Structure 1
Amino acid sequence: MSRRGLTGLETAIILVAFVITSSAFAFVVLNMGQQSADQVQSVISSSMDDSSAALLMDTNIIGVFSNVTGVQSTICLTKATFYVRLSQGHTPIDMDDSKIVITYTNPRCHTVIYDANTNVTSITVVAGNGDTMLEVGEKFKVVIDFTAIDKTTVDPAQADMNNVYTHPYEELRIEIQPSSGAKLAIERLIPQVESTVMGF
Protein backbone atom coordinates (compact mmCIF):
# COMPACT_ATOMS: atom_id res chain seq x y z
CA MET A 1 0.00 0.00 0.00
CA SER A 2 2.81 2.39 0.91
CA ARG A 3 4.63 1.40 -2.28
CA ARG A 4 1.62 2.39 -4.38
CA GLY A 5 1.38 5.74 -2.61
CA LEU A 6 5.06 6.41 -3.19
CA THR A 7 4.75 5.57 -6.90
CA GLY A 8 1.73 7.87 -7.24
CA LEU A 9 3.61 10.69 -5.51
CA GLU A 10 6.61 10.28 -7.82
CA THR A 11 4.32 10.33 -10.85
CA ALA A 12 2.61 13.49 -9.60
CA ILE A 13 5.98 15.22 -9.03
CA ILE A 14 7.17 14.28 -12.53
CA LEU A 15 3.87 15.47 -14.03
CA VAL A 16 4.06 18.82 -12.19
CA ALA A 17 7.67 19.29 -13.29
CA PHE A 18 6.70 18.53 -16.89
CA VAL A 19 3.84 21.06 -16.77
CA ILE A 20 6.11 23.77 -15.31
CA THR A 21 8.80 23.12 -17.94
CA SER A 22 6.23 23.19 -20.74
CA SER A 23 4.77 26.45 -19.44
CA ALA A 24 8.21 28.07 -19.28
CA PHE A 25 9.01 26.92 -22.83
CA ALA A 26 5.67 28.22 -24.11
CA PHE A 27 6.32 31.58 -22.43
CA VAL A 28 9.74 31.85 -24.13
CA VAL A 29 8.26 31.01 -27.55
CA LEU A 30 5.42 33.52 -27.15
CA ASN A 31 7.83 36.22 -25.95
CA MET A 32 10.12 35.69 -28.95
CA GLY A 33 7.12 35.85 -31.27
CA GLN A 34 6.05 39.15 -29.71
CA GLN A 35 9.55 40.60 -30.13
CA SER A 36 9.62 39.54 -33.79
CA ALA A 37 6.21 41.13 -34.37
CA ASP A 38 7.41 44.36 -32.73
CA GLN A 39 10.51 44.42 -34.96
CA VAL A 40 8.42 43.85 -38.09
CA GLN A 41 6.07 46.65 -37.06
CA SER A 42 9.05 48.97 -36.47
CA VAL A 43 10.50 48.19 -39.92
CA ILE A 44 7.13 48.76 -41.61
CA SER A 45 6.65 52.04 -39.75
CA SER A 46 10.14 53.23 -40.72
CA SER A 47 9.56 52.27 -44.36
CA MET A 48 6.27 54.15 -44.39
CA ASP A 49 8.00 57.23 -42.98
CA ASP A 50 10.73 57.02 -45.62
CA SER A 51 8.31 56.71 -48.51
CA SER A 52 6.06 59.48 -47.21
CA ALA A 53 8.91 61.98 -46.91
CA ALA A 54 9.69 62.07 -50.65
CA LEU A 55 10.14 65.37 -52.49
CA LEU A 56 8.45 66.32 -55.74
CA MET A 57 9.47 68.78 -58.44
CA ASP A 58 6.91 71.54 -58.83
CA THR A 59 8.17 72.79 -62.24
CA ASN A 60 10.47 71.84 -65.08
CA ILE A 61 14.11 72.85 -64.91
CA ILE A 62 14.74 76.40 -66.13
CA GLY A 63 18.20 76.39 -67.66
CA VAL A 64 20.59 79.25 -68.42
CA PHE A 65 22.96 78.51 -71.30
CA SER A 66 26.14 80.10 -72.62
CA ASN A 67 27.56 80.19 -76.17
CA VAL A 68 24.09 79.90 -77.70
CA THR A 69 25.29 81.42 -80.99
CA GLY A 70 27.77 78.60 -81.54
CA VAL A 71 27.27 74.98 -82.52
CA GLN A 72 25.27 72.81 -80.12
CA SER A 73 28.32 70.95 -78.81
CA THR A 74 29.82 74.20 -77.46
CA ILE A 75 26.65 75.33 -75.65
CA CYS A 76 26.91 74.87 -71.87
CA LEU A 77 24.28 74.64 -69.15
CA THR A 78 25.65 77.14 -66.62
CA LYS A 79 22.69 77.50 -64.25
CA ALA A 80 19.57 75.49 -63.39
CA THR A 81 16.54 76.57 -61.38
CA PHE A 82 13.61 74.46 -60.22
CA TYR A 83 11.10 74.28 -57.38
CA VAL A 84 10.32 71.46 -54.95
CA ARG A 85 7.45 70.62 -52.63
CA LEU A 86 6.38 67.73 -50.44
CA SER A 87 4.75 64.65 -51.87
CA GLN A 88 1.45 63.34 -50.52
CA GLY A 89 3.24 61.79 -47.53
CA HIS A 90 3.27 65.20 -45.85
CA THR A 91 6.31 64.46 -43.69
CA PRO A 92 8.33 67.70 -43.23
CA ILE A 93 11.90 67.71 -44.58
CA ASP A 94 14.72 69.90 -43.29
CA MET A 95 16.33 71.58 -46.32
CA ASP A 96 19.32 72.99 -44.41
CA ASP A 97 22.72 72.19 -45.97
CA SER A 98 23.64 70.20 -42.86
CA LYS A 99 20.61 67.94 -43.31
CA ILE A 100 20.48 67.36 -47.06
CA VAL A 101 22.90 66.42 -49.85
CA ILE A 102 22.51 67.21 -53.56
CA THR A 103 24.65 65.57 -56.23
CA TYR A 104 25.13 66.30 -59.94
CA THR A 105 26.14 63.82 -62.63
CA ASN A 106 26.77 64.29 -66.34
CA PRO A 107 28.30 61.84 -68.86
CA ARG A 108 31.84 62.76 -67.75
CA CYS A 109 31.83 63.42 -64.01
CA HIS A 110 29.98 63.39 -60.70
CA THR A 111 30.13 65.74 -57.71
CA VAL A 112 28.35 66.95 -54.57
CA ILE A 113 26.83 70.37 -55.18
CA TYR A 114 24.98 71.00 -51.90
CA ASP A 115 26.16 70.26 -48.39
CA ALA A 116 27.81 72.18 -45.56
CA ASN A 117 31.04 72.59 -47.58
CA THR A 118 29.83 73.85 -50.97
CA ASN A 119 28.38 77.07 -52.37
CA VAL A 120 27.28 75.74 -55.77
CA THR A 121 23.60 75.44 -54.83
CA SER A 122 21.27 77.77 -52.97
CA ILE A 123 17.86 76.84 -51.57
CA THR A 124 15.39 79.57 -50.61
CA VAL A 125 11.81 79.63 -49.36
CA VAL A 126 9.30 80.83 -51.96
CA ALA A 127 6.10 79.99 -50.10
CA GLY A 128 6.40 79.09 -46.43
CA ASN A 129 6.97 80.32 -42.89
CA GLY A 130 10.63 81.23 -43.41
CA ASP A 131 12.36 78.33 -41.66
CA THR A 132 14.34 75.54 -43.33
CA MET A 133 11.61 72.92 -42.89
CA LEU A 134 9.71 72.10 -46.08
CA GLU A 135 6.15 71.48 -44.93
CA VAL A 136 2.72 70.93 -46.42
CA GLY A 137 1.76 73.71 -48.83
CA GLU A 138 5.26 75.20 -48.92
CA LYS A 139 7.56 75.58 -51.91
CA PHE A 140 11.35 75.94 -52.05
CA LYS A 141 13.46 77.30 -54.91
CA VAL A 142 16.65 75.44 -55.85
CA VAL A 143 19.29 77.30 -57.89
CA ILE A 144 22.43 75.49 -59.10
CA ASP A 145 25.34 77.58 -60.39
CA PHE A 146 27.47 75.13 -62.37
CA THR A 147 30.16 77.79 -62.93
CA ALA A 148 30.96 77.55 -59.20
CA ILE A 149 31.98 73.88 -59.45
CA ASP A 150 35.70 73.27 -59.01
CA LYS A 151 36.74 71.07 -61.93
CA THR A 152 39.55 69.54 -59.86
CA THR A 153 37.19 68.24 -57.16
CA VAL A 154 34.72 66.39 -59.40
CA ASP A 155 35.01 62.64 -59.83
CA PRO A 156 37.01 62.07 -61.94
CA ALA A 157 38.84 65.41 -61.94
CA GLN A 158 38.62 67.37 -65.19
CA ALA A 159 41.23 69.55 -66.91
CA ASP A 160 38.62 71.45 -68.94
CA MET A 161 35.59 73.17 -67.40
CA ASN A 162 33.58 72.33 -70.51
CA ASN A 163 33.62 68.71 -69.36
CA VAL A 164 31.90 69.73 -66.12
CA TYR A 165 29.03 71.39 -67.96
CA THR A 166 26.22 69.45 -69.61
CA HIS A 167 25.61 70.17 -73.30
CA PRO A 168 22.61 69.73 -75.63
CA TYR A 169 21.67 66.11 -76.37
CA GLU A 170 23.33 64.98 -73.13
CA GLU A 171 21.71 63.68 -69.95
CA LEU A 172 22.18 65.16 -66.51
CA ARG A 173 21.10 63.71 -63.19
CA ILE A 174 20.47 65.67 -60.00
CA GLU A 175 19.73 63.77 -56.78
CA ILE A 176 18.37 65.37 -53.62
CA GLN A 177 18.88 63.12 -50.58
CA PRO A 178 17.25 64.28 -47.31
CA SER A 179 18.54 63.03 -43.96
CA SER A 180 15.47 60.77 -43.84
CA GLY A 181 13.04 59.69 -46.48
CA ALA A 182 13.24 58.82 -50.15
CA LYS A 183 15.55 60.79 -52.44
CA LEU A 184 14.37 62.85 -55.41
CA ALA A 185 16.18 61.83 -58.61
CA ILE A 186 15.86 64.28 -61.52
CA GLU A 187 17.00 63.02 -64.92
CA ARG A 188 16.79 65.22 -67.99
CA LEU A 189 17.99 65.06 -71.58
CA ILE A 190 18.87 68.57 -72.70
CA PRO A 191 17.21 69.24 -76.07
CA GLN A 192 18.45 71.50 -78.83
CA VAL A 193 19.12 74.94 -77.36
CA GLU A 194 18.11 78.08 -79.26
CA SER A 195 17.99 80.71 -76.50
CA THR A 196 19.92 81.72 -73.39
CA VAL A 197 17.06 80.79 -71.03
CA MET A 198 15.00 77.70 -71.72
CA GLY A 199 12.91 75.17 -69.82
CA PHE A 200 13.44 71.44 -70.25
Structure 2
Amino acid sequence: MKQERKSLRKDTRGFTGLEAAIVLTAFVVVAAVFSYMVLGAGFFSTEKAKAVVHTGVEQTTSSVELAGNVIGHADSEECNGLRNVTLYLQLTAGRTPVDMNKLGIAYTDKYVYNGSLVHSDDTAYDPQHVNTDNVTAPGTWDYAFVPDQTGNPGNGNNMLDADEKVKVFIWLPAEVGDGLGYVTVYNWFQVEVKPEKGGSIAIKKTVPGAIDDVMILYS
Protein backbone atom coordinates (compact mmCIF):
# COMPACT_ATOMS: atom_id res chain seq x y z
CA MET A 1 0.00 0.00 0.00
CA LYS A 2 2.82 2.36 0.86
CA GLN A 3 4.53 1.58 -2.39
CA GLU A 4 1.35 2.40 -4.29
CA ARG A 5 1.11 5.82 -2.56
CA LYS A 6 4.72 6.58 -3.34
CA SER A 7 4.08 5.67 -6.94
CA LEU A 8 1.11 8.02 -7.06
CA ARG A 9 3.17 10.89 -5.62
CA LYS A 10 5.86 10.38 -8.20
CA ASP A 11 3.30 10.41 -10.99
CA THR A 12 1.77 13.64 -9.61
CA ARG A 13 5.12 15.36 -9.50
CA GLY A 14 5.82 14.24 -13.08
CA PHE A 15 2.48 15.58 -14.32
CA THR A 16 3.01 18.94 -12.56
CA GLY A 17 6.38 19.39 -14.22
CA LEU A 18 4.92 18.65 -17.64
CA GLU A 19 2.11 21.08 -17.03
CA ALA A 20 4.59 23.80 -16.05
CA ALA A 21 6.55 23.15 -19.23
CA ILE A 22 3.37 23.48 -21.31
CA VAL A 23 2.42 26.74 -19.59
CA LEU A 24 5.92 28.12 -20.09
CA THR A 25 5.83 27.15 -23.75
CA ALA A 26 2.45 28.85 -24.10
CA PHE A 27 3.85 32.03 -22.56
CA VAL A 28 6.78 31.97 -24.96
CA VAL A 29 4.47 31.47 -27.95
CA VAL A 30 2.13 34.25 -26.83
CA ALA A 31 5.06 36.58 -26.23
CA ALA A 32 6.48 35.79 -29.66
CA VAL A 33 3.11 36.42 -31.33
CA PHE A 34 2.65 39.66 -29.39
CA SER A 35 6.15 40.80 -30.32
CA TYR A 36 5.47 40.02 -33.96
CA MET A 37 2.23 42.02 -33.79
CA VAL A 38 4.01 44.97 -32.18
CA LEU A 39 6.78 44.88 -34.78
CA GLY A 40 4.22 44.59 -37.57
CA ALA A 41 2.31 47.58 -36.21
CA GLY A 42 5.57 49.50 -35.99
CA PHE A 43 6.49 48.71 -39.58
CA PHE A 44 2.98 49.67 -40.73
CA SER A 45 3.15 52.97 -38.83
CA THR A 46 6.55 53.72 -40.35
CA GLU A 47 5.32 53.02 -43.88
CA LYS A 48 2.18 55.07 -43.23
CA ALA A 49 4.29 57.97 -41.98
CA LYS A 50 6.48 57.76 -45.08
CA ALA A 51 3.39 57.83 -47.30
CA VAL A 52 1.99 60.84 -45.44
CA VAL A 53 5.30 62.71 -45.76
CA HIS A 54 5.54 61.81 -49.45
CA THR A 55 1.98 63.02 -50.06
CA GLY A 56 2.67 66.20 -48.13
CA VAL A 57 5.78 66.92 -50.17
CA GLU A 58 3.86 66.35 -53.41
CA GLN A 59 1.11 68.73 -52.32
CA THR A 60 3.39 71.50 -51.09
CA THR A 61 6.11 71.46 -53.74
CA SER A 62 5.36 72.64 -57.23
CA SER A 63 5.26 70.31 -60.21
CA VAL A 64 6.83 72.97 -62.44
CA GLU A 65 9.68 75.45 -62.22
CA LEU A 66 11.10 78.31 -64.25
CA ALA A 67 13.34 77.22 -67.12
CA GLY A 68 14.86 80.50 -68.22
CA ASN A 69 14.42 84.24 -68.05
CA VAL A 70 11.16 86.09 -67.57
CA ILE A 71 10.69 88.37 -70.58
CA GLY A 72 8.71 91.61 -70.47
CA HIS A 73 7.05 93.16 -73.52
CA ALA A 74 6.34 96.89 -73.55
CA ASP A 75 3.12 98.64 -74.45
CA SER A 76 3.23 98.53 -78.25
CA GLU A 77 1.76 102.01 -78.70
CA GLU A 78 3.79 104.25 -76.42
CA CYS A 79 6.37 101.92 -74.84
CA ASN A 80 5.81 103.48 -71.44
CA GLY A 81 4.90 100.37 -69.51
CA LEU A 82 4.85 96.59 -69.36
CA ARG A 83 1.84 94.94 -71.00
CA ASN A 84 2.86 91.32 -71.73
CA VAL A 85 5.05 88.69 -70.08
CA THR A 86 6.68 85.56 -71.48
CA LEU A 87 8.11 82.83 -69.25
CA TYR A 88 9.41 79.29 -69.71
CA LEU A 89 8.47 76.27 -67.60
CA GLN A 90 9.73 72.73 -67.14
CA LEU A 91 8.88 69.87 -64.79
CA THR A 92 10.44 69.82 -61.34
CA ALA A 93 12.80 66.83 -60.97
CA GLY A 94 10.96 63.62 -60.25
CA ARG A 95 7.46 64.96 -60.86
CA THR A 96 4.79 63.47 -63.10
CA PRO A 97 3.68 65.15 -66.37
CA VAL A 98 1.53 68.29 -66.08
CA ASP A 99 -1.56 68.94 -68.17
CA MET A 100 -0.99 72.45 -69.54
CA ASN A 101 -4.68 72.85 -70.35
CA LYS A 102 -5.43 72.53 -66.63
CA LEU A 103 -2.79 75.04 -65.57
CA GLY A 104 -4.00 78.13 -63.73
CA ILE A 105 -2.38 81.58 -63.78
CA ALA A 106 -3.11 84.43 -61.37
CA TYR A 107 -1.96 88.05 -61.53
CA THR A 108 -1.34 90.56 -58.74
CA ASP A 109 -0.04 94.11 -58.49
CA LYS A 110 -0.65 96.89 -55.98
CA TYR A 111 -3.89 97.85 -57.72
CA VAL A 112 -5.53 94.62 -58.79
CA TYR A 113 -5.74 90.87 -58.19
CA ASN A 114 -7.01 88.43 -60.81
CA GLY A 115 -7.01 84.89 -59.48
CA SER A 116 -7.62 83.15 -62.79
CA LEU A 117 -6.53 84.55 -66.13
CA VAL A 118 -8.36 83.07 -69.11
CA HIS A 119 -6.63 80.39 -71.16
CA SER A 120 -6.99 81.53 -74.76
CA ASP A 121 -8.84 79.07 -77.01
CA ASP A 122 -8.29 80.96 -80.25
CA THR A 123 -8.52 78.32 -82.98
CA ALA A 124 -6.08 80.30 -85.11
CA TYR A 125 -3.39 79.86 -82.48
CA ASP A 126 -0.54 77.58 -83.49
CA PRO A 127 0.33 75.51 -80.38
CA GLN A 128 3.92 75.09 -81.57
CA HIS A 129 4.67 78.78 -82.13
CA VAL A 130 3.64 81.61 -79.83
CA ASN A 131 2.20 84.42 -81.90
CA THR A 132 1.31 87.38 -79.70
CA ASP A 133 -1.15 88.64 -82.30
CA ASN A 134 -3.39 85.69 -81.43
CA VAL A 135 -3.36 86.47 -77.71
CA THR A 136 -4.63 90.03 -77.78
CA ALA A 137 -7.36 89.98 -75.15
CA PRO A 138 -6.23 91.43 -71.81
CA GLY A 139 -6.19 88.90 -69.01
CA THR A 140 -5.52 85.89 -71.24
CA TRP A 141 -2.63 83.47 -71.69
CA ASP A 142 -1.53 80.62 -73.93
CA TYR A 143 1.42 78.27 -74.32
CA ALA A 144 3.64 76.57 -76.89
CA PHE A 145 6.14 73.75 -76.50
CA VAL A 146 9.75 74.74 -77.15
CA PRO A 147 11.41 72.72 -79.96
CA ASP A 148 14.51 70.74 -78.97
CA GLN A 149 17.86 70.82 -80.79
CA THR A 150 16.46 68.64 -83.57
CA GLY A 151 13.47 70.93 -84.05
CA ASN A 152 11.05 68.50 -82.43
CA PRO A 153 8.42 70.51 -80.52
CA GLY A 154 7.39 67.62 -78.27
CA ASN A 155 5.05 64.67 -78.50
CA GLY A 156 2.16 66.71 -79.85
CA ASN A 157 -0.16 66.55 -76.84
CA ASN A 158 -0.87 69.02 -74.06
CA MET A 159 1.18 67.19 -71.39
CA LEU A 160 4.43 68.76 -70.21
CA ASP A 161 6.85 65.83 -69.87
CA ALA A 162 10.23 65.54 -68.17
CA ASP A 163 12.22 66.20 -71.34
CA GLU A 164 10.13 69.16 -72.53
CA LYS A 165 9.95 72.91 -71.98
CA VAL A 166 6.99 75.14 -72.58
CA LYS A 167 6.74 78.83 -73.41
CA VAL A 168 3.89 80.70 -71.70
CA PHE A 169 2.71 84.06 -73.02
CA ILE A 170 0.59 86.25 -70.71
CA TRP A 171 -1.37 89.34 -71.70
CA LEU A 172 -1.82 91.31 -68.48
CA PRO A 173 -5.35 92.24 -67.35
CA ALA A 174 -6.82 95.58 -68.45
CA GLU A 175 -7.06 96.74 -64.83
CA VAL A 176 -3.31 96.66 -64.20
CA GLY A 177 -1.51 99.87 -63.37
CA ASP A 178 -4.63 101.41 -61.82
CA GLY A 179 -6.54 101.02 -65.08
CA LEU A 180 -3.74 102.01 -67.45
CA GLY A 181 -3.54 98.50 -68.90
CA TYR A 182 0.19 98.25 -68.29
CA VAL A 183 2.62 98.31 -65.35
CA THR A 184 4.67 101.49 -65.16
CA VAL A 185 8.36 101.81 -64.27
CA TYR A 186 9.59 100.81 -60.81
CA ASN A 187 6.29 99.11 -59.98
CA TRP A 188 6.10 95.45 -59.08
CA PHE A 189 3.78 92.72 -60.30
CA GLN A 190 3.42 89.03 -59.55
CA VAL A 191 2.38 86.10 -61.72
CA GLU A 192 1.40 82.89 -59.93
CA VAL A 193 1.54 79.61 -61.86
CA LYS A 194 -0.81 76.98 -60.42
CA PRO A 195 -0.49 73.38 -61.71
CA GLU A 196 -3.42 71.00 -61.24
CA LYS A 197 -1.39 69.06 -58.65
CA GLY A 198 1.27 70.31 -56.26
CA GLY A 199 2.06 73.76 -54.99
CA SER A 200 2.09 76.94 -57.03
CA ILE A 201 5.09 79.11 -57.89
CA ALA A 202 4.99 82.88 -57.47
CA ILE A 203 7.08 84.98 -59.87
CA LYS A 204 7.45 88.54 -58.62
CA LYS A 205 9.20 91.13 -60.79
CA THR A 206 9.72 94.90 -60.89
CA VAL A 207 9.52 96.93 -64.08
CA PRO A 208 12.90 98.63 -64.70
CA GLY A 209 13.34 102.37 -65.05
CA ALA A 210 13.98 102.17 -68.80
CA ILE A 211 11.34 100.53 -70.97
CA ASP A 212 12.30 98.57 -74.09
CA ASP A 213 10.06 96.72 -76.52
CA VAL A 214 11.48 93.44 -75.20
CA MET A 215 13.44 93.17 -71.96
CA ILE A 216 14.65 90.60 -69.45
CA LEU A 217 13.13 91.15 -66.01
CA TYR A 218 15.91 90.44 -63.53
CA SER A 219 14.26 91.45 -60.26
Q: Same fold (TM over 0.5)?
A: yes
Q: Which amino acid aligns with 2:179?
A: M
Q: 2:100 aligns with which of 91, 95, 103?
A: 95
Asked which structure has the greater CA Rg, the reply is 2
- Give the direction of change, closer, same or farther, for the CA distance of 1:61–1:21 in structure 2 (3 Å limit): same
CA deviation profile, 1:108-146 (whole Å, cap 9, x unmatched): 332223467996211222322221111244232211112
- Give the direction of change, closer, same or farther, for the CA distance of 1:24–1:117 in structure 2 (3 Å limit): farther
Q: 2:179 aligns with which of 158, 161, 166?
A: 161
Deviates more, 1:131-140 or 1:109-118: 109-118
What is the aligned partner in structure 2 of residue 59 from structure 1?
69
Is contact 2:144-2:167 (8 Å) kept?
yes
Q: CA RMSD in A?
A: 3.4
- Identity over aligned residues, as a percent? 31
Is contact 1:63-1:198 (8 Å) kept?
yes
Is contact 1:103-1:112 (8 Å) kept?
yes
Q: Which amino acid aligns with 2:105?
A: I
What is the aligned partner in structure 1 of residue 141 from structure 2?
121
- Give the direction of change, closer, same or farther, for the CA distance of 1:5–1:116 in structure 2 (3 Å limit): farther
Q: Which amino acid aligns with 1:84?
A: L
The within-5 A match list for 1:1-200 is: 1=9, 2-43=11-52, 46=55, 47=57, 53-65=63-75, 68=78, 75-89=80-94, 91-96=96-101, 98=102, 100-114=103-117, 120-127=140-147, 128-147=154-173, 161-162=179-180, 165-200=182-217
Distance 1:23 1:117 in 2: 66
Gaps of 5+ in 2: 1-8, 122-138, 148-153
- Give the direction of change, closer, same or farther, for the CA distance of 1:14–1:82 in structure 2 (3 Å limit): same
Tell me by how many angstroms 1:94 deviates. 1.9
Is contact 1:101-1:114 (8 Å) kept?
yes
CA deviation profile, 1:4-55 (whole Å, cap 9, x unmatched): 2343244223213311221221111111122123224434655479869432
Gaps of 5+ in 1: 70-74, 152-157
Distance 2:22 2:179 in 1: 87
Which TM-score applies when normalising by structure 1? Answer: 0.71
Flag the structure with higher strand content.
Answer: 1
Which TM-score applies when normalising by structure 2? Answer: 0.66
Number of aligned residues: 183
Is contact 1:68-1:193 (8 Å) kept?
no
Tell me by how many angstroms 1:165 deviates. 4.7
Is contact 2:109-2:189 (8 Å) kept?
yes
